[in-house]
A = this chain, B = another copy of it.
Amino acid sequence: MESDQEIIKYIGKFVNLTNDEAIQFASKFKEVKFKKRQLIIQPNFIAKHRYFIVHGAVRAYVIGNDGQERSVQLAVDQWWISDYNSYILQQPASMFVTAAEDTIALQISFEDEQVLKATNHKFETFFRIIAERGAASMQRRIISAITMTAEERYELFIDKYPHLYSRFPQYVIASYLGMTTEFLSKIRNNKLKKN
């Protein structure tokens, strides 16, 4: 399958696999397509899969006590997404995961992932590395959440992920950055005036 090449290329960045190993690894992934707005994971159900995005855009969000959506993770091509807490600990999800564009993804089930990890030390290494990198990236996000003002967070985001900005509606970006749509709109407007 064509998408298989994507995940093979991806894992190849982290561990060197033989041809057979690559095929074995890819065999546990199944191509799935989601239409824009389609629900992928919902609260209270256990997330059975994690998804590697081949092409498209997906976001994970929670609904706060006030009924407002807050984006927890945004993912586009070559990124992973799931309700991590639910998937890893196999506990009920707290998040919605939906497609923000028509999306092609590769899905792996929790059980198949366990099998892969147990089968081959290299596969285990791969999943360890992506977990570590995910943790490091979340730590950076926590730091920006607790040290920066809304405007600084916006600037950092634009700086680090310029390509993400255009692929999600503004209210999604705003909630990802921990502010209201209205306030993000005002920040952008102030910036224009300054420059």
Which residues of chain B are near A152, meaning CB under 8 Å?
A: 65
Q: Are A135's CB and B64's CB within 8 A?
A: no
Q: Which residue of B lies closest to A177 (CB)?
A: B146
Q: How many copies altogether?
A: 2
* A135 and B88 contacting across the interface, CB-CB below 8 Å: yes
Instruction: Tell me the chain A residues, 140-159 only, with Cβ under 8 Å from chain B.
Output: 140-143, 145-148, 152
A163 sits at the interface (CB 8 A)? no
Binary per-residue interface labels of chain A (118-133) against chain B in the complex, 1 for a CB within 8 Å, 0 otherwise = 0001001101100111
DSSP class of A's interface residues: helix, strand, loop or mixed?
helix
A87 CB to closest chain B CB (Å) equals: 9
Q: Which residues of B contact A133 (CB under 8 A)?
A: 88-89
Q: How far is the CA of A88 from the CA of B146 in the complex (A)?
A: 22
Contact partner, A143, options B70, B89, B121, B147, Cβ 8 Å: B70
Asked whether A146 lies within 8 Å of B84 as measured between CB atoms, the reply is no
B65, B131, B146: the one contacting A131 at CB < 8 Å is B131
Nearest opposing residue in chain B for A128, CB measure: B128
**Binary per-residue interface labels of chain A (92-122) against chain B in the complex, 1 for a CB within 8 Å, 0 otherwise:** 0010000000000000000000000100010
Q: Taking A121-B121, A138-B138, A138-B142 as given, write out 16 further A-B residue pairs in contact, using a Cβ cutoff of 8 Å, ordered by the A residue number.
A: A62-B143, A65-B147, A72-B142, A72-B146, A73-B139, A84-B136, A85-B136, A88-B133, A88-B135, A121-B124, A124-B125, A124-B128, A125-B128, A127-B128, A138-B139, A146-B175
